[in-house]
Homo-oligomer: A and B are copies of this chain.
């Protein structure tokens, strides 16, 4: 399989925010476009919970990326001008050091001996890539969902190291409703007898727990309105599981079933647990007395904050809070309230709305950069 994956290897120990250290760390990433001689055209993207660093296709890996329509020549994150780096989050199973990595001290996978993971650790791992590439100041850090939290952590940890920030469908900290849902997803995995306290084997994975967790995820990533339009009360095709008194009756159940099947086997359960909990633990107030204090200390020149009105997990009020806090600190803020129907996932789906907003924001400043380098 073609890969465009690059890996930064850090040989020194990587101290973790909530205690412990990783003896060595690898950070997987991909890049598009070219870094300018003055190294001032770099955009760093952090991802949501599940994707890899493969945000877009390239010569090295022509397969579609998770944000294909957003990144490329002439696209909103325009690789004719910008050098784009997408980071695979620390703790994710797609190349960066994670619970599936071998602990060099023991020669065994970390599994649950992996230290508590935080969003700040993910931001720091990304920052190491910037350092390694000799980038002193990013043109922008951009992230949706968990990635949006990560860019907030990046701004808090590394003041003066990015000109602009784009936070999409994120939050300064999770509300109890979202914590409850994620806690429940983790419990579904942990209650699967096959989980074995994290010591499952490749031929006996906690598949049922992962399937349930993914289905609950799908429910919370979209919106009731979208599904009402999409599925109505459509019955599932008759051939599905005949004779099962509690099987699939409705098309929406088939939809969840197929998504769960697709996801399971792609994502490591322990990695899921660590990253999911990191989202709960994140609190921008840890970087100042309050969230407002922390936002006031941000030094970015401009910020773009996007929220979606139908988002259940990261309600629009939380985006408003970010925008207000940054404005109170004197930052130039653009707050966009998207009327998309697709809930939290809108940034992956409602591209006609998201593309121009992200493109225009980056364009405003990027125009001063020489085209074609």
Interface residues of A (CB under 8 A from B): 112, 116, 173-181, 183-184, 186-188, 190-191, 193, 208, 212, 215-216, 218-219, 223-224, 227-228, 230-233, 245-246, 248-253, 256, 273, 277, 280-281, 283, 312, 315
Contacts and interface: CB of A to CB of B under 8 A. Distances in A.
B216 A184 contact: yes
A228 B178 CA distance: 10
Contact of A188 (B212, B218, B219): B212
B179 A224 contact: no
A250 B184 CA distance: 12
B233 A283 contact: yes
Contact of A215 (B116, B187, B230, B312): B187
A173 to B, nearest CB: 6
Contacts of A212: 184, 187-188, 191, 212
Q: What number of copies of this chain does the assembly contain?
A: 2
Given A112-B245, A232-B176, A224 B312 contact: yes
A184 B256 contact: yes
B191 A193 contact: no
Nearest to A245: B112
B315 A177 contact: no
A249 B280 contact: yes
A180 B280 contact: no
A315 B216 CA distance: 19
A294 to B, nearest CB: 14
Contact of A281 (B116, B231, B249): B249
Most buried by B among A174, A219, A231, A251: A219
B216 A175 contact: no
